[in-house]
């Protein structure tokens, strides 16, 4: 399974632990979309899965940070997220 984490306004958050139901639903939707797009991605050389950090000052300004074992995996995932 792909590692997806969230950081909103400098704070680590989880879709399950959000106090606001609407914010929780938005983060769950983002998580499902990422999983659908890149959930099966794995480095063909190293066998590792990528990590995706979703960051933003608020829910209206989210961006993705992708990390992984090599540039090939990172670029592949970035293309799938566009």
- Structure confidence by residue, pLDDT tens digits, 19-76: 889 999 999 999 999 999 998 999 999 999 999 999 999 999 999 999 999 999 999 9
The reported pLDDT for the residue numbered 19 is 82
Element (H, E) at 37: helix 21-38
Position 9 pLDDT exceeds 90: yes
pLDDT classification of 18: cutoffs 50, 70, 90:
confident
> CA–CA distance from 27 to each of 6, 34, 43, 68, 69 (Å)?
8, 11, 26, 22, 26
Domain residue ranges of the chain, discontinuous segments joined by +: 3-81
Position 1 pLDDT exceeds 90: no
């Amino acid at each position: 399974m792909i590692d997806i984490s969230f950081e909103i306004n400098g704070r680590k958050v989880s879709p399950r632990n959000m106090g606001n139901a609407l914010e929780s639903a938005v983060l769950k939707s983002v998580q499902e979309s990422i999983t659908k797009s890149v959930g099966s991605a794995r480095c063909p050389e190293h066998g590792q899965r990528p990590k995706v950090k979703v960051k933003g000052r608020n829910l209206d300004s989210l961006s993705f940070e992708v990390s992984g074992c090599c540039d090939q995996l990172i670029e592949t995932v970035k293309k799938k997220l566009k």
